[in-house]
Amino acid sequence: MSVIPMTNDIILEGIDLTKHFGGGGLLSSPTVVRAVDGVSLSVQRGETFAIVGESGCGKSTLGRLLLRLIEPTGGDVRYEGKSILGLNKSEMRKLRREMQIIFQDPFASLNPRMNVGDIIAEPIWLHGLGRGKEKRERVADLMRTVGLIPTHTDRYPHEFSGGQRQRIGIARALAGDPKLIIGDEPVSALDVSIQAQIINLLEDLKQRFGLTLVIVAHDLAVIRHMSDRVAVMYLGEIVELSETDELFDNPLHPYTQALLAAIPIPNPMNRQPKALLQGDVPSPAAPPSGCRFHTRCPHARPLCKEQHPALEAAPDGRKVACHFWREIQGAGAGSISAPSQSAALSKRLALYRTWRERQDNPVTTSP
């Protein structure tokens, strides 16, 4: 992971982005689902920015809003300083060349009736980047770049493995010479052994082509080694935004602490506790009042139910949305409202940290 120093070279910005589904016209559901609610973030050129959270937290919707694959209910998206919401179809098509997406399920995202050569060539043709021999050479180059055999252009998606299909998706995303790629859970549908290969490939391509990556993921372990900064989402809101190392070393928000504590530790002696957080994720159609995490938070107090915590800057520049993050840090994550749950979380977090330190600094003994 490369640490990107904070600069003003912002390539992509979401400003107070909101996406509500339903509750509108005659044919839509009367229930309003608040998938994304007032999210602001900025992505610096050349960094890998991760958006993480449990399923249903709104992270994939946020990724699509940032590319304007869906229209926001409110807020703005700026690419290289300019709002993209006012662009017409043809202006958006030109811009899409620079902003690409890699989907979670490589099989579902590839047209089964097109051969791989045509799938990768389509953006080249669409954006007028080459024809005939030039186009074929470019496709062969892209296939080599992502680790595929260039003579397999006439094969169809079903003839490839899951990892190879994701490589085809990456080659297609690269075909238009993008500046920015959003990966929506790019490895979660793949076997663990293949995940590392695809993560390494994305990192190599980022360096080689000077790309900016935005990775949407539910698994913190996946993004730890590849991201520079992380935004943690819960029920449509960002609850913590931090540089990756700081987030893993010293998470401020109780939800981030719970996510880290839930990372599996491969040691049969350290069995996963049954429930690190109380209850299920509430419905985004009826988010809890005040702090949306209060129904599951081991540190919740009466104020949490009443007042919504703003995303505020901590002295070290991180951002956190919790009324009591200072006290929680100072008390070593002890809790007054759910002490046994809090103790289980703290213990698990300590175990995770110890295990991680051992992974990062293995003790080598001479034979």
Q: Which residues bind ligand SF4 (CB under 6 A)?
A: 254, 291, 293-294, 297, 299-300, 304, 309, 322-324
Q: Least Å distance between CB 229 and ligand SF4?
A: 21
What Rg, from alpha-carbon coordinates, does the chain have? 22
Provide the minimum distance between the beta carbon of 11 and ligand SF4 in the complex, in angstroms, as a whole number: 31
**Nearer to ligand SF4 among residue 132 and residue 279 (C-beta):** 279
Residue 145, C-beta contacts closer than 8 angstroms, at least 6 positions apart? 171, 174, 205
CA 164, 167, 168, 169: dihedral to nearest 10 degrees? Answer: 130
Residue 16's SS3 state is strand
Structure tokens at 225: 């080694």
- Nearest distance in Å: CB 344, ligand SF4: 16
Return the number of the residue (49 or 293) whose C-beta is nearest ligand SF4.
Answer: 293
Q: Give the nearer residue to ligand SF4 in terms of CB position, either 51 or 291.
A: 291
- Closest distance to ligand SF4 from the beta carbon of 314 (Å): 13
For 113, the 3-state DSSP assignment is: coil
To ligand SF4, the closest distance from the beta carbon of 322 in angstroms equals 3
Distance CA 345, CA 201 (A): 34
Q: Give 160 or 324: the residue with its C-beta nearer to ligand SF4.
A: 324
Q: What are the strands, taking DSSP E only, across the chain?
A: 10-21, 33-44, 48-52, 74-79, 82-83, 99-102, 180-184, 212-217, 229-234, 237-243, 312-313, 319-320
* Closer Cβ to ligand SF4, 172 or 294, answer by number: 294
| Residue 293 CB, nearest approach to ligand SF4 (Å) | 5
Which residue, 324 or 352, has its beta carbon nearer to ligand SF4?
324
Task: Sort residue 225 into left (φ over 0), alpha (ψ -120 to 50) or beta.
Answer: alpha
